[in-house]
Amino acid sequence: AQKITQTQPGMFVQEKEAVTLDCTYDTSDPSYGLFWYKQPSSGEMIFLIYQGSYDQQNATEGRYSLNFQKARKSANLVISASQLGDSAMYFCAMRERVLIDYKLSFGAGTTVTVRA
């Protein structure tokens, strides 16, 4: 079963508009963490935002915010005021405990293209 599901392979957004990237997850671990990473065309993985399963408030980091709906197992990334530099692949990831270790599982990613 897929641990992380990103249903949007690609999205287009107009510059200065907001965009929401969907992410749903599946885990039985009550203490898990959710991450979003950005991968521009240059290939590096850039950490954007983190949400712990026990965090009461949605995480925010500058123009990035995480819409965390625990009951729905959803952790959508919202990018506000999109910029051309936001064009990239975005990955949702979940950290959960598996036996004695913690594993990070990635979704397949969503490609965002920002139009001028």
Coil, helix or strand for 11?
strand
User: Nearer to another protein by C-beta: 15 or 61?
Assistant: 61
Of 15 and 62, nearer to another protein (C-beta) is: 62
Q: How far is the CB of 10 from another protein (least distance, A)?
A: 11
* 116 DSSP assignment: -
- Closest distance between another protein and the C-beta of residue 15, in Å? 27
Nearer to another protein, 18 or 98 (CB): 98
Q: Quick one: 52 or 62, whose CB is closer to another protein?
A: 52
Give 105: exposed, middle or buried? Use CB within 10 Å, 0-12, 13-18, 19+: middle
CB of 28 to another protein, least distance (A): 17
What residue ranges in 23-69 does DSSP mark as E strands? 24-25, 33-39, 46-52, 60-61, 64-69
How many other CB atoms are found less than 10 A from the CB of residue 13? Answer: 17
Residue ranges that bind another protein, judged by CB under 8 A = 4, 9, 33, 35, 37, 43-45, 47, 50, 52, 91, 93, 95, 101-109
Nearest approach, Cβ of residue 105 and another protein (Å):
8
Q: Which residues contact 44 (CB under 8 A, 6 or more apart)?
A: none
